[in-house]
Structure 1
Amino acid sequence: MKIHDTVRLVLTTPLSDREIADAVGVSKTTVGRYRRLADAKHLRWSDLAHLTPSKLTQRFNRDPNGNKTRRAPDFAEFQQRLDEGATLQVLWEDYRREDPHGTLSYSQLAARMRRYRKTLPTGMRMSHEPGFKAYVDFAGFKRIPLPTYLDATTGKPVTVQLFVAVLPASSLIFARCVPSQKVPDFIQAHIDMLVYFGGAPLTIVCDNLKSAVIKAGRQAVLQADYKEFARHYRIAINPARPFRPRDKATVETSVRIVQDHIVARLHQRTHHSIEELNASLAELLDELNRRPMTEYRKSRWERFEASERQALQPLPTEPFVYAKWVAIPRVPKDYHVRVDHHHYSVPHALTGQRLTARLTADRVEIFKETEQVTSHARSFERGGHTTDPAHLSDDHRAWSERTPEHMVAWAKKAGPHVAQFVRNLIGKSHPLAALPACDEVKALAEKHGTLALNQAAGETLHLNTVSLGTLRRILSKQSQANAPAKTTRPRHRYAQGSKAFARQVKEAAC
């Protein structure tokens, strides 16, 4: 507006050039030049008052290009082509080819494009529905360093990561210090966030860190554990576009608020563990959320309780448990799969098939596609094996049960005398050396029955012996005594006929 005020004062007042220059803030030379141009062209203020400053500039100042007009391109079309993937160099070459002398240079075109982009409406005011979204992000350390605590062993400061989340409808903020940005810590921070909110939103908008997104883009690929977490709480994950921080501007603002009002104060305190650090953080966070906001004259907690708490989804009865997923390319012939340096059995019918194992802190769950086929208590014995007898084939189960312990357990079921007989057999020599004799005892039970075997074993023990021969003889006598009596008949039909013929001859002689 300086040119507007200068020309007005020159044409409507008797002030000198120096007085006008001092009043407006321009040089005396400029005021004198404007006065000479106005006198030469016989200009009056009534003819110039309606002109804009840019029009007045054209009247009283020379074109910096020496009055050379250069054809400007359609900047809107250029911007559209740039958004579609074209480069400014290619666009400039096409534009320059038509008129090499009457077009802008590359540097001029680039400067004009930068000025044009500043005029575009790139910001949009969003209206957030209660309970619909939550924005999450990790705080950076460009403005304020990340929180630290002193290691109890070394006494050196340990830097932690600061996880920040916000419900945009009420502006309620959550913050938590975690050891790292790795998947277990990232998911645990989400679980703590949902507990703090007392419910789950429908959508979470996150950044494109590797703990959340394996492949960014329009068809983003989520990290498997993060996807499992979202499925457990019935949440849709919506990653922000790469290099588009305005997609999550709300949480970016919340990060700055947390850094200014909380992290700056944490640096003034001394903490000796991450638990102490989070205790101080929770105290300062509660103070922040209960402080009245200038714009709304209500605190974040008040706005949350009034409009958003009831809109959140209820949390499941069981919290999500982080688990590590391990692919099993092929079940070996012994149907024991190797997971974290330990071998776990699966049903023998799955030999040769592809499975997936899910490892929690205390369990190992094995799946075929989406169906769980078995579950074991997790073992940290390297090279060891855990076997479920139900997974064994019939032959392998019989062989696995051929141990002194299994033999004694079977004998107890067969009868007390059989149990004592088998224990005496095993105690007579090395336990493994007695297995063949125990196998023969089981064979006798299959042949004569457990009742007869138990009775015979009692008689054998009464004779103070553990001889298998004695046991067999007693069983044989029992079977003969219990067998029905048989009528004696000639063993051959010819012998039977000869006796009848002799009887007839004797009768005839008489």
Structure 2
Amino acid sequence: MIKYREILRLHAQGISQRGIASSTSNSRTTIREVVKRSEERNTKWPLDEGVTDQDLQELLFPEKHASFDFRKKPDCEYIHKELAKPGVNLTLLWEEYSLNCQSNEEIPYSYRQFCRVYHDYARKTKATMRIKRKPGELLEVDWAGKTMSIKDELTGENIPVYIFVSALPCSQYAYVEGFLSMNAESWISAHIHAFQFYRGVPRVIVPDNLKTGVVKASKYEPIIHKGYQEMAEHYHTTIVPARVRHPKDKASAESTVGHISTWIIASLRNQEFFSLKELNDAVKGKLAEFNNKPFQKKQGSRHTAFKEEEHFALTPLPAASYEIATWQVATVQYDYHIEVDKMFYSVPYDYVKYVVDIRVNRSIVEVFYKGLRIASHKKIKGRLGQFETLPEHMPKEHKQYIDFDTSYVRQWGEKAGPNMLITINSILASYRVEKQALKSCLGLIKLADQHSVDRVEKACERALMYTTRPTLTSIKTILKNGQDKLPVTLEKESPKEVKPNPYGFTRGAEYYGGKK
């Protein structure tokens, strides 16, 4: 107990507060408060001999003498509920509690006693204490150091299985699943399955700085893997990687990994599994035992703590699960195509030699340039080396070549003129193979580009005067000789007089095309 009489006696003798503190083994703060209260109460040395230190405490500090029964007891149920909210801590709640007591003229508990009352309540009646961790705030994730294995039925070879572990720090509720690899697809799939297991999403995910989740580790601005970040945005959560070489940043996951190594991995060490599903079914059973195992020093289990204390704070799951996608980087080649899994997809030809990002999921291939989607294709399946080319991605000249068919040349002929159309139809009918006919028609169109449509139309008109089946060669000859520029005249030849030939078997000059 504080020596009030000695403090007042030494102060009356003019001893400094430092000297009084050294003599009475009390702090200078205590000395200062006792002296201040004695002046307020007008209690000075010398005192009556019957006045004890207990009497002085009642006189100077009546609130300390008052029994705790007379103080306003805090509402621990309300405190426990409020601590679940973001940003709320015991200091804030004690300040509110103290102000409420002052307004009602009641004596509050000190902060230390306030915390002690809540701790006793939470330890006896609740599975979790919300001092350091908020419910639903964090999910700590990691790969377990130890692996399991499945046996190949044909070769008998042991195939390693990597164990994913996640834990909610508030309730210590855990989720475990095995995967055949630790790639990005397995990592993201594990998170999706964990959210489905918890039936909700935490506000923050704390992973390690593994390459499948964090492209570049940094204390202040880490670069998150694109697929991992996209998954977090879909579920409206945030990824905050632990600091490098700071395992305490995800202590719950590290602790759970140790427990899982013993409770699940070690307990199943003597069993043989021949499929990943068979192994995960066994892991699921052991995980249920682990989560329902009673706590040693408090009531309940991880499952009851999660159900009663944490599940309500998780963000609801979105209507649709995230569809896993992988990201790649590629350079657009001169044929304005990019390669994805030995298949080729077109992009707008303006992006030739540009570096683009490619997002690939189960059915769609999307191409992005600086965050802007420039192309989207349905994923090609089947033999390797196939092409998917959209006409709008092609240059004008290439697009014309792709659209070049019989309907195209006939439409062109209708616009050019009637003689051109007759010539085109004649050329198309003269070949047995359509490609050969189209090649000749293309030559005709090229002549129109070279000489003009009007000249070719007149050349076709002149050619049709001599034959009903003009060819590309005849049209070229007419244009080369300039016969298309000559006026077209139809000379009506008078019928020649046929003289009787007494020698019916004699063939004259007319038969051979000659003249008399």
Shift of 1:384: 3.9
- Asked if structure 2 preserves the Cα contact closer than 8 Å seen for 1:422 and 1:438, the reply is no
CA deviations on 1:384-439 (whole Å, 9 max, x unpaired) are: 4220112223332111112469779999xxxxxx9xx9799469411211215666
**Aligned mates of 1:395, 1:214 — CA distance in 2:** 42
How many Å separate the matches in 2 of 1:437 and 1:314? 67
Partners of 2:296 and 2:353 lie apart in 1 by: 66
- Among candidates 319, 322, 347, match of residue 321 of structure 2: 319
Amino acid of the residue matched to residue 127 of structure 1?
A: K
- Distance of 2:335 and 2:405 partners within structure 1: 20
Instruction: Give the deviation of 1:345 after TM superposition.
Output: 1.3
Q: Over residues 354-381 of structure 1, what are the superposed CA-to-partner deviations in whole Å (9 max), with x where a residue is unaligned?
A: 4222122332211121121111123365
Partner of residue 335, structure 1? 336
In 2 relative to 1, CA 152–400 (structure 1 residues): closer, same or farther, beyond 3 Å? same
Instruction: Classify 1:435/1:155 alpha carbon distance in 2 versus 1 (closer, same or farther; 3 Å).
Output: same
Tell me the residue number matched to 1:160.
161
* TM-score, scaled relative to structure 2: 0.54
Contact kept? 2:427, 2:469, Cα under 8 Å: no
Distance in 2, Cα, partners of 1:432 & 1:373 = 34
Report the counterpart of residue 438 of structure 2 in structure 1.
435
**Which residue of structure 2 aligns with residue 378 of structure 1?**
379
1:71-220 map, 5 Å: 127-141=132-146, 146-219=147-220, 220=222
The correspondence for 2:235, drawn from 233, 236, 240, is 233
Query: C-alpha root-mean-square deviation of aligned residues, in Å?
Result: 4.0
Q: What CA distance in whole angstroms lies between the structure 2 residues aligned with 1:262 and 1:423? A: 82
Alignment of 1:235-384 (within 5 A): 235-329=237-331, 331-379=332-380, 382-384=384-386
Structure 2: distance between partners of 1:235 and 1:187: 14
Alpha-carbon distance, 1:306 to partner: 1.8
1:229-258 Cα shifts (integer Å, max 9, x gaps): 222222222222222222222112211222
* CA positional deviation for 1:174: 0.1
Cα gap change, 1:186/1:166 in structure 2, threshold over 3 Å: closer, same or farther? same
The secondary structure found in structure 2 opposite 1:266 is: coil
For 1:404-415, list aligned pairs within 5 A. none
Q: Distance in 2 between matches of 1:369 and 1:437?
A: 45
SS in 2 for 1:343: strand
Aligned-pair CA distance for 1:136: 0.8
SS of 1:136's equivalent?
strand
Give the aligned residue type for 1:291. K
Are the counterparts in 2 of residues 342 and 384 from structure 1 also a CA contact under 8 Å? yes
**Cα distance change on mapping 1:248 and 1:430 into 2, 3 Å:** same
What are the superposed Cα offsets for residues 183-215 of structure 1, whole Å, 9 maximum, x if unpaired? 221121111111111121111111222222233
2:267 alignment partner, SS class: helix
One-letter code of the match for 1:268? N
- Structure 2 residue matching 1:304: 3-state secondary structure: helix
Contact 1:174–1:196 under 8 Å retained in 2: yes
Amino acid in structure 2 at the alignment position of 1:254: T
Q: Percent identity?
A: 31
Residues 278-323 of structure 1 deviation map (CA, whole Å, 9 limit, x = unaligned) = 1111122123223333333223222222232221122233322333
Cα 1:252–1:351 change in 2 (3 A) is closer
Task: Specify the code of the residue in structure 2 equivalent to 1:434.
Answer: A
Task: Look up the equivalent residue of 1:303 and give its one-letter code.
Answer: A
SS in 2 for 1:364: strand
Q: Give a deviation string over 1:6-64, Cα, whole Å, max 9, x none.
A: xxxxxxxxxxxxxxxxxxxxxxxxxxxxxxxxxxxxxxxxxxxxxxxxxxxxxxxxxxx
Q: Do the aligned residues in 2 keep the contact of 1:404 with 1:426 (CA within 8 Å)?
A: no
Aligned residues of 2:327 and 2:357 also touching (Cα < 8 A): yes
* SS in structure 2 at match of 1:278: helix
Q: Specify whether residues 155 and 402 from structure 1 end up closer, same or farther in structure 2 by C-alpha distance, changes over 3 A only.
A: same
> Which has the higher mean CA deviation after the structures are superposed, 349-358 or 388-397?
349-358
Counterparts of 2:195 and 2:255, CA distance in 1: 20
Separation of aligned partners in 2, 1:301 and 1:217:
35
- Whole-Å Cα distance in 1 between the matches of residues 224 and 190 of structure 2? 17
Distance 2:411 2:167 in 1: 62
Paired residues of 1:164 and 1:176 also in contact (CA < 8 A):
yes
Q: Is the alpha carbon distance of 1:435 and 1:278 closer, same or farther for their aligned partners in structure 2, counting shifts above 3 Å?
A: same
> Following the alignment from structure 1 to structure 2, what is the Cα–Cα distance between the partners of residues 190 and 386?
33
How far residue 132 of structure 1 moved from its aligned partner, in angstroms, is: 0.5
Supply the distance in 2 between the matched residues of 1:314 and 1:407 (Cα, whole angstroms). 60
